[in-house]
Amino acid sequence: MKRLGIVWFRDDLRLHDNETFAWAHMNNDYVIHIYCFDPRQITAKTYKCDFVKTDKYRLKFLIETIEDLNTSLINKGSGLLTYRDKPENVLNQLIEQFKNIFEITIAFQQQVTQEETDVEKIIRQITIDNNIHVKEFWTLTLYHPDDLPYNNPKAFPDVYTQLRVALEKQGVRVRRLIDIPNTFKPLPDGIISTPVSNLSDYEYSNETMHTNSVFTLQGGESSGLTHLHNYIWNKNLIKSYKETRNSLTGPENSTKFSPWLSNGSLSPRKIFFEIKKYENEQNIHDAGYWIIFELLWRDFFKFIAMKYGTRLFYGRGLKLEPYVWKHDLKPFEAWRTGNTGIPFVDANMREIMATGWMSNRGRQNVASFLTKDLGIDWRYGAVWFESILIDHDVCSNYGNWIYVAGVGTDPRENRHFNVVKQGFDYDPNGIFVRIWCPELTRLPNEYIQTPWLAPAHILKEAGVELGVNYPRPIIIVPQWNQQFQNRRKSIQNQHHTQQRGINFYFKNHEKR
Ligand SMILES: Cc1cc2nc3c(=O)[nH]c(=O)nc-3n(C[C@H](O)[C@H](O)[C@H](O)COP(=O)(O)OP(=O)(O)OC[C@H]3O[C@@H](n4cnc5c(N)ncnc54)[C@H](O)[C@@H]3O)c2cc1C
């Protein structure tokens, strides 16, 4: 009997460095590739707050990714079968169609979080019921979990630095890239690739990108590889990464690899080895250290999910004692829609709503504000991010949320962002705030982060009417006003020092 491999693509939407895909082509006579737009992950509602699970930005990126994968496969004489259905339904049908003709193996990427592993269990059961083979591969992370210096997931460290130091000390290596097979096995007779869904199938219009979006690239393995090449080789951006990664604006300030990493159209190992090649060729030792450092955070949250399972989704997170969160929808809606009256929070929230993107600095601040200043259940924020983010990754999203909310793996107790200080530090001239809160454009820099502290005549001159065209703050934390006063004093001191310098200069020149 000839062998048929069925590759069920999941968050591994690439041909490069894809063990599942390579295995199927090396070990079968025919290969079918399927992708399922699973309604449980696309149109279903989040388990709190009823947001659609995958909103238009990620869906658009995903559809582009699937189109690109299909094209790459067609170019090699194969193709992709796409479905708007659950994988278990699709696989059952394919098994029924082919089980008397071929010896079938279903090959897929293993995942770690509950909704995903629940589906895996169903698929395994289907293979048992039909007496067919199943082959599973770990292709999600930079480091393979089997290579970590721990016996089992329960022994993985809870602190990121412990993981990083253990890997560095013990010299754990990243496994080599998996080659793309030289020849692709054909589809069985009578099977042809199916047209990919488009946004209108989901009742979204094919809108153009927001003009202020910092992420304007298309989805797909091809565009991901081009972006990686441009980032490293053409634009030489590795060099400036450490200094710029915290910036709020500008498409080139951080790598922007996350949307491809999240759906697997770019492999973290591919990024790693490309960085190593750059370091060797340019003879700059550890030039890409900080990017790899961040990629390891991505791994860390996957390992945390492996270790803690569903606890990643508990209100109390990984803590054992219960945690009381508020579930007040009014302030939550003000946060979600960018109408809290705190410009730094509003600008970030309006950015994510209009583009699906927010910088890491922004994400940390708005998450801290929601959970630490408003005391609202972190899961409300996490499900909004899950819905709207272009780069949503369940482990990175939920892992970071519990971390910032203080119920996760942050070894520093009570980390709390002062969002006004952060606004002044990272957006001192209000460039970012003015992009997303244009109603504050004419406010002087001194008050751009704290309009409620501006005197009435300044507000009037700037055309700002609090409570009318820009909200009054829904909360004022005493430290914010203190921050404003401190900054004012330090600016006045600087001004005096400069003035003294000028006076001194003139006095001395007069003397001569
Ligand atoms: C509340 C909150 C929610 C988040 N949700 C997500 C999410 O759903 N998906 C997601 O990919 N990232 C998430 N992050 C992490 C981080 O904000 C993004 O990975 C990063 O902003 C993506 O931009 P970049 O690719 O330019 O990152 P870079 O700074 O260029 O980093 C390179 C890569 O490292 C990884 N990385 C960087 N920082 C982190 C981090 N803190 N945690 C995990 N991985 C990281 C990403 O894969 C990223 O692409 C979240 C952070 C917070 C605070």
Beta carbons of 29 and 185 less than 8 angstroms apart: yes
- At position 130, the amino acid (one-letter code) is N
For the record, the structure tokens of 473 come out as 């703050």
Does 296 carry a binding-site annotation?
Answer: yes
d(Cα 250, Cα 432) in Å, to the nearest integer? 10
**Cα of 360 from ligand 1 centre, angstroms:** 6
- 73 Cα: distance to centroid of ligand 1 (angstroms): 30
Which residue is closest in CA terms to ligand 1's atom 12?
396
Gap between the terminal Cα atoms of the chain: 102
User: Hey, whose CA ends up nearest to atom 11 of ligand 1?
Assistant: 258
What SS3 class is residue 293? helix
Asked if residue 359 belongs to a known ligand binding site, the reply is no
> By alpha-carbon position, which residue is closest to atom 4 of ligand 1?
397
What integer pLDDT is reported at residue 510 of this predicted model?
45
Atom 21 (ligand 1) nearest CA:
360
Which among 60, 135, 353, 241 is positioned nearest to 362, based on CA atoms? Answer: 353
d(CA 206, CA 230): 27
Cβ atoms of residues 464 and 376 within 8 Å: no
Position 271 scores a pLDDT of 98
pLDDT value, residue 239:
94
Given CA atoms 381, 382, 384, 390 in this order, what sign does their dihedral have? Answer: positive
**pLDDT confidence of residue 197:** 86
Closest residue to atom 6 of ligand 1, CA basis: 397
Given the CA of residue 389, which atom of ligand 1 is nearest to it? 8
On whether 297 is known to bind a ligand per the annotation, the reply is yes
Asked whether the CA dihedral 187, 190, 192, 197 is positive or negative, the reply is negative
Contact present, 417 and 365 (Cβ < 8 Å)? yes
**Would 1-139 and 325-481 be classified into the same CATH topology?**
no
Residues composing the chain = 512
* Residue 298 CA, ligand 1 centroid: distance in Å: 7
How far is residue 304's CA from residue 302's CA, in Å, rounded to a whole number?
Answer: 5
State which ligand 1 atom lies nearest to the alpha carbon of 268. 47
Q: Residue 294, annotated ligand binder?
A: yes
**Token pair of 399, please?**
């892992």
What dihedral do alpha carbons 489, 437, 61, 182 form, nearest 10°? -30
Q: SS3 of 136, please? A: strand
Note the maximum CA span of the chain: 104
What's the pLDDT at 501?
60
Residue 58, SS3?
helix
Find out whether 377 is annotated in a ligand binding site: no
Pick the CATH number of 140-179+220-308 from 1.10.390.10, 3.40.50.1860, 1.25.40.80, 3.20.20.10: 1.25.40.80
Cβ burial of 349 (10 Å; 0-12, 13-18, 19+) is buried
256 is in an annotated binding site: yes
- CB burial of residue 350 (10 Å; 0-12, 13-18, 19+): buried
62 carries a ligand binding annotation: no
What's phi and psi for 501, nearest 5 deg? Answer: -60, -45
Ligand 1 centroid–CA 361 distance in Å is 10
pLDDT tens digits in sequence order for the chain, 512 residues long = 999 999 999 999 999 999 999 999 999 999 999 999 999 999 999 988 999 999 999 999 999 999 999 999 999 999 999 999 999 999 999 999 999 999 999 999 999 999 999 999 999 999 999 999 999 999 999 999 999 999 999 999 999 999 999 999 999 999 999 999 999 999 999 888 888 889 999 989 877 788 999 998 999 999 999 999 999 999 999 999 999 999 999 899 999 999 999 999 999 999 999 999 999 999 999 999 999 999 999 999 999 999 999 999 999 999 999 889 999 999 999 999 999 999 999 999 999 999 999 999 999 999 999 999 999 999 999 999 999 999 999 999 999 999 999 999 888 877 899 999 999 999 999 999 999 999 999 999 999 999 999 999 999 999 999 999 999 999 999 999 998 899 888 888 876 676 666 555 545 554 43
User: What is the helix, strand, coil percentage profile of the chain, to 5?
Assistant: 50, 5, 40
Q: How far apart are CA 251 and CA 325, in angstroms?
A: 36
**Cβ atoms of 27 and 3 closer than 8 Å:** yes
> Is 118 marked as a binding-site residue?
no
Residues with CB under 6 A from ligand 1: 245, 254-258, 261-262, 291, 294-295, 297-298, 301, 359-360, 363-364, 367, 385, 389, 391-393, 396-397, 400-401, 404
Pocket test for ligand 1, best of 246, 294, 368, 403 (most atoms within 8 A of CB): 294
Residue nearest to ligand 1 atom 53, measured at CA: 364
Round to whole Å and give the CA distance between 267 and 22. Answer: 14
Q: Where are the domains of the chain?
A: 1-139, 140-179+220-308, 325-481
Substitution candidate for ligand 1 out of 258, 303, 352, 389 with most atoms within 8 A of CB: 258
Q: What is the pLDDT of residue 411?
A: 81
| Whether CATH 3.40.50.620 fits 1-139 | yes
- The domain 325-481 is placed in CATH, from the list 3.90.1170.50, 1.10.579.10, 3.10.105.10, 3.40.50.2300, at 1.10.579.10
Other beta carbons less than 10 A from residue 485's beta carbon? 11
